[in-house]
Amino acid sequence: MKHVIALALTWDGARWPVRSLSPKARAFLIGKGSKISASTAQGLTKLFANNQVREIRICWIPRLQGGSDVLAESFPTPKGRRISFQVARTVLLGDVCGVIYRKPLSAVR
């Protein structure tokens, strides 16, 4: 099963509480009938390593949070390759920027 990762992140990669977002931003993260997976960094690493992510939805929050609990670390992949995602859509939601990243058709297996 291919998953959709949905997160609210600050510019430095710190998670932001979804409940504090506007209703429009929360609706953007949910999408239309999407299967949403937003788990720990280890859980995300496993999904990426097994090629189980088809889309990433991020609400970028215009703040810097800092600290050790950020998703700024790289996710190891099979054979050390980069995972190719492209910007498919950008939506302005007040001061929040919603971005949908998808794999290009050539990268989908």
What pTM did the predictor assign? 0.77
Domain assignment of residue 49, given as a range: 3-107
Q: What pLDDT sits at residue 84?
A: 80
Tens digits of residue pLDDT in 29-78: 988 765 565 567 777 778 877 888 888 999 999 987 766 655 555 555 66
Residues 6+ apart with CB under 8 A from 57: 4, 5, 6, 7, 28, 29, 31, 34, 98, 99, 100, 101
Number of domains in the chain: 1
CATH number at 55 reads 3.40.430.10
Tens digits of residue pLDDT in 74-98: 555 666 666 788 999 999 999 999 9
